Amino acid sequence: MLLPSKGALATYISSVYQAILEKNKVEKNHYSSSEQTFSAANLLNFIELKKHVTTSLIDELNQFGFVLFSEDNVLSSLEKTLLNLGIKRLPKSNYLPLNPQLIAKQRVNGVLGDIKNTFHPHIMVTIDSQIVMDDRVIEQFLLNGMSIARINCAYDSESEWRNIINRLRKIEYGLRQQGKYKKQLKIYMDLAGPKIRIGPIKKVSTPLKIKVKKDAFGKASRARMGFICTNHIDRTLLSTTNSDEECPFIINVDRMNDIRLLNKGDMLDFQDYRNKKRTFTVDSKLSTDCVMVTIDETAYLTNETILLNLKKNIELRVGGIEPVPADIFVKRGDSLRIYLDPLKEGHSQTEADMAGVSVTIPKAFKNVQPNDLIFIDDGKIKGKVKSVSQTFIEVTIISPDKVRKIKEDKGVNLPNSLVSLNVPALTSKDKEDLTFVLENSDIVGISFVHHPRDLKQLKQILKQYNKTDMPIIAKIETKDAVENFSNIIFEGLSFEHFGVMIARGDLAIELGYGELTIVQEEILSLCRAAHIPVILATQILENLAKKGIPSRSELADLSFGNQFDCLMLNKGPYMADTISFITETLKIQTLAEINQQMITRHLLDY
């Protein structure tokens, strides 16, 4: 639409303004404060405005040197534009003269905490029961910029969660006593939600494989570390010993007296399952019942393997190698049966039958139809529904081209199958967990929010516990949530403290990676219009956290992340460096924006 003159432009903007006023009918009784009503009204205005905005309209305004609107106060921005276009008398509005920037800041502080350093968003880091045992690592997280610790309630139990929180508070208190940490660490707990997962897979007896990585020349790039112990060893001792990237192997043996004779440097020779000669070297002695060993070649052990040291007349028989889930491999063109009995064990393909797996939430498949898509293991396996019966669903695998293993507990996504109609966001486990979570956390995340009714249900539970002031984060990670997003925000604004998390892992699978780029920016805009805090989660500097080197795309993503109120990081051996990198990079970026100069100029000053 090309507008020929300033007068025509003013007339069109006036008609848009009038249309917005006519649509602006917020249910004031639904909100308890003028700030909540103001934000709901502004969100409604923003949604209506977007219906009238075109690229040509923006270009026309730019020619006159005008900017159409700021999303945080749509009516005020339009009024200023109309005044600049010469319109002195405006239609009467119920506009509330509130400060949107102040409202947004107060909400960020109320939900995520008051961040002292204004150079960057809050940094949230996932903490589990293993990593919290290393005080030095947690100290580095805190000192480098972590302001929120995330506990995923899909794993562990109340006793582990309590231990994580107690250790975090103890380390935080110690740093504060030393004058090194002045923030207030927030504890964020994610309810597990109705995550569909692969069920149990039939166990089979198989040799224990100890894999040693090789370099480009076929030599061991690094010896593999593990433990040889009697069956009586306290396994908690081992969890604090390993600082390696790879999980250490643990081998049970039968003769305690022989282990006591082993010392650093001793060798234990054996023939593995393939009759290959292999050797363990004792690296250190942890106790009279356990030694740490290394091996520099891949080996396969069974319950019949004998470890020998002829010099000391030591003979140790390996035992306790437990059966493991059967290998289920699929590739493009294969068929896979998905059983709707959650207790049925998955099995490999045979000459007589296709491979099959069960799922943890069968009712999620109630609306599945032929040609619906199904994704397994974060989208690594993609299939299309071929047929549906009462007991199973047959799927044709579309990708990958090379074989991929299906493992127990891996996630399943059904973007086309209207899962939300049969699976509410709050499960029975979530409701049980809330008793602990509401008493011990500072922020609660509700996973797989599909619809405003999910928030209404949570609100009733908060009232029962007298915890209506608890900050709530709605995790947006499904296609249904995106389609209902505006209404989710309208309902969320009725909470005392409310925010949104863009959980890009599941969302990318549900929408497709191309759609995700657009949707995450749209969600950010709607949250800014509603003045509510928004968190960006999943795959932020993941390469840096896991490998120590960021990819180019991750650096661009970090720049986008600076627009959010919080960045959520997962796990990795280089997490402390990742937190520090985010803090310093966003500090430089923000300074450059404040001073309206290029980052390169800032760096060239040194």
- What's the pLDDT band for 606 if we cut at 50, 70, 90? very low
Q: Which residue do the tokens 């709607």 mark?
A: 526
Angle at 418 between CA 414 and CA 419, to 5 degrees: 65
Taking the complete model, does pTM exceed 0.95, yes or no?
no
State how beta strands 404-405 and 412-413 pair: unpaired
- What's the pLDDT band for 158 if we cut at 50, 70, 90? very high
362 cis-preceded (ω within 30 degrees of 0): no
Angle at 70 between CA 67 and CA 75, to 5 degrees: 100
Residue where one domain finishes, among candidates 396, 417, 438: 417
> How far apart, in whole angstroms, are the C-alpha atoms of residue 311 and residue 86?
100
> How far apart, in whole angstroms, are the C-alpha atoms of residue 482 and residue 415?
12
The reply to whether 219 and 355 lie within a common domain is no
Tell me what percent of the residues of the chain surpass a pLDDT of 90.
64
CB 123 within 8 A of CB 584: no
Would you state the pLDDT for residue 535? 97
- Asked if residue 214 is part of any domain, the answer here is yes
The reply to whether 119 and 74 lie within a common domain is no
The reply to whether 190 and 308 lie within a common domain is no
**What are the angstrom distances between the C-alpha of 246 and each of 142, 235, 292, 350?**
25, 17, 15, 33
Would you state the pLDDT for residue 384? 97
Q: What share of the chain is helix, strand, coil (3-state, %, to 5)?
A: 40, 20, 40
The reply to whether 436 and 410 lie within a common domain is no
The reply to whether 125 and 176 lie within a common domain is yes
- Asked if residue 171 is part of any domain, the answer here is yes
- Asked if residue 354 is part of any domain, the answer here is yes
**Between 276 and 67, residue with greater pLDDT:** 276
Would you state the pLDDT for residue 182? 86
The reply to whether 55 and 128 lie within a common domain is no
The reply to whether 62 and 177 lie within a common domain is no
* Mean pLDDT within 480-503: 96
Structure tokens at 602: 């800032």
The reply to whether 18 and 110 lie within a common domain is no
332-367 per-position pLDDT tens digit: 999 999 999 999 999 999 888 999 999 999 999 999
292-329 per-position pLDDT tens digit: 999 999 999 999 899 999 999 999 999 888 888 999 99
| CATH code, 541 | 3.20.20.60
The reply to whether 410 and 462 lie within a common domain is no
The DSSP secondary structure of 23-76, one letter per residue, reads H----GGG-SSHHHHHHHHHHHHHHHHHHH--HHHHHHHHHTT-----TT-HHH
Q: Is 360 exposed, middle or buried (0-12, 13-18, 19+ CB in 10 A)?
A: middle
> How far apart, in whole angstroms, are the C-alpha atoms of residue 139 and residue 181?
9
3-state secondary structure of 12: helix
- Asked if residue 237 is part of any domain, the answer here is yes
Q: Which residue do the tokens 């009918």 mark?
A: 25
| CATH code, 271 | 2.40.33
- What's the pLDDT band for 4 if we cut at 50, 70, 90? low
DSSP state of 476: E
CB 100 within 8 A of CB 531: yes
210-234 per-position pLDDT tens digit: 999 887 777 877 889 999 998 655 5
Q: Domain range for residue 339?
A: 326-417
pLDDT over 80 (residue 584): yes
**What are the angstrom distances between the C-alpha of 526 and each of 187, 425, 490, 507?**
26, 22, 11, 17
- Asked if residue 476 is part of any domain, the answer here is yes
The reply to whether 185 and 214 lie within a common domain is no
- Asked if residue 201 is part of any domain, the answer here is no
**Between 557 and 466, residue with greater pLDDT:** 466
State how beta strands 373-376 and 381-388 pair: antiparallel
- What's the pLDDT band for 445 if we cut at 50, 70, 90? very high
pLDDT over 80 (residue 271): yes
Average pLDDT in the chain: 89
Q: How many domains does the chain have?
A: 4
pLDDT over 50 (residue 206): yes
Would you state the pLDDT for residue 241? 38
- Asked if residue 200 is part of any domain, the answer here is no
Angle at 325 between CA 320 and CA 329, to 5 degrees: 145
Would you state the pLDDT for residue 372? 96
- Asked if residue 199 is part of any domain, the answer here is no
Ranges 56-70, 162-176, 219-233, 390-404: which has the least confidence: 56-70
pLDDT over 90 (residue 430): yes
pLDDT over 90 (residue 578): yes
Determine the angle formed by the axes of helices 158-177 and 428-440, rounding to 10 degrees: 20
The reply to whether 499 and 533 lie within a common domain is yes
| CATH code, 339 | 2.40.33.10
CB 243 within 8 A of CB 292: no
Residue whose C-alpha is closest to residue 188's, from 459, 469, 432, 471: 471
- Residue 546 Cα to chain centre, angstroms: 15
Residue where one domain finishes, among candidates 417, 439, 458: 417
Residue where one domain finishes, among candidates 98, 116, 137: 98
Would you state the pLDDT for residue 605? 46
The reply to whether 291 and 167 lie within a common domain is no
pLDDT over 70 (residue 602): no
